[in-house]
Amino acid sequence: MSAAESKNLDPKAPPPPAPPPDLLRGKAALVTGAGSGLGRGIAEGLARAGARVALVDIDLEALGETGAAIARTAGADACLAVKADVTDETQVAGAFRQAVDAFGGLDLCVPAAGIAPAFPLVDFPVGPWRQALEINLTGYFLAAREAARVMIRQGRGGSIILVASKSGLEASKANSAYNATKAGEIHLARGWALELGPAGIRVNAVAPGNVFKGSKIWNEEYIKTCARKRGIRPEEVIPYYVGLTALGLEIQPEDVANVVAWLASDFARTITGQVIVCDAGQVCVR
């Protein structure tokens, strides 16, 4: 597919639909990494679907921007911003406590705070490697553990949805920490689904394809690294990746938010221990 045929370059391409406004009415959610990119998009989508959302991120200023966006579409009561480092167990526990205090409980948890330090194996410094494991694995573990504790205590079930990646299914070149941690998240969801099923808690993963809009992972340096990897110019990177999808469609944060909102709803009540791939058909066409 040529770059011109891909819908991301088509200014008339329709935006993703908004979720039904009552889909998650009465539900309380907590989203990590809510200050940017997919975490922000998912938090906004859940709020548009009627949920109240605790926004967790290490970046307070970014959280303010997400909170303001949600206040505009769903009202100021729809969210609560909590600054916390997802790798710090005390801070994570504190964030959940604040969410439960504010909303009277918790029904949905979406760990999304993640990083993607990209280096070839022989050049990979151990610092960024360890940081990726801490944020992408320990951070997801701490959030899921806290969510499970709250949900079991409440006795009304719940849903935990881990934001993994298609790179957890099909390895990206020169991206081993990301590949390993995203595959790890998918397998964590499967094991936790077995453990938490008896309590009525569903645990699933979503595996988005590349989502450029609003993402700080897709910063200028990362795009340059991808361009070098593929032997193309930086401005060709987005069309290149869109061209790898069967649909030739640029995935928006709202697309992933819609999948998460549906998966969190009772329409998906039989789904647990699964990975829902939302990549516009990239992994399947290989």
Ligand X SMILES: NC(=O)c1ccc[n+]([C@@H]2O[C@H](COP(=O)([O-])OP(=O)(O)OC[C@H]3O[C@@H](n4cnc5c(N)ncnc54)[C@H](O)[C@@H]3O)[C@@H](O)[C@H]2O)c1
User: Would you say 190 or 213 has its CB closer to ligand X?
Assistant: 213
CA distance 153 to 200: 12
Residue 252 makes contact with ligand X by CB under 6 A: no
Residue 58 makes contact with ligand X by CB under 6 A: yes
204 — alpha (psi -120 to 50), left (phi > 0) or beta? beta
| Stretch of 15-23, 32-40, 145-153, 268-276 lying at the interface with ligand X (CB under 6 A) | 32-40
User: Would you say 50 or 177 has its CB closer to ligand X?
Assistant: 177
Residue 59 makes contact with ligand X by CB under 6 A: yes
Residue 85 makes contact with ligand X by CB under 6 A: yes
Residue 42 makes contact with ligand X by CB under 6 A: no
Check if the beta carbon of residue 151 is closer than 8 Å to that of residue 99: no
CB of 26 to ligand X, least distance (A): 27
Residue 216 makes contact with ligand X by CB under 6 A: yes
User: Would you say 98 or 154 has its CB closer to ligand X?
Assistant: 98
| Stretch of 7-15, 19-27, 33-41, 45-53 lying at the interface with ligand X (CB under 6 A) | 33-41
Residue 45 makes contact with ligand X by CB under 6 A: no
Q: Which residue numbers are catalytic?
A: 178
**Tokens coding 213:** 């809009």
CB of 128 to ligand X, least distance (A): 12
CB of 100 to ligand X, least distance (A): 19
Backbone angles phi, psi at 168, to 5 degrees: -80, -10
Residue 239 makes contact with ligand X by CB under 6 A: no
Q: Tell me how many residues contact ligand X (CB under 6 A).
A: 29
CA distance 156 to 148: 11
Residue 184 makes contact with ligand X by CB under 6 A: no
Q: Which residues bind ligand X (CB under 6 A)?
A: 32-33, 35-39, 57-59, 62, 85-87, 112-115, 135, 139, 163, 165, 208, 210-211, 215-218
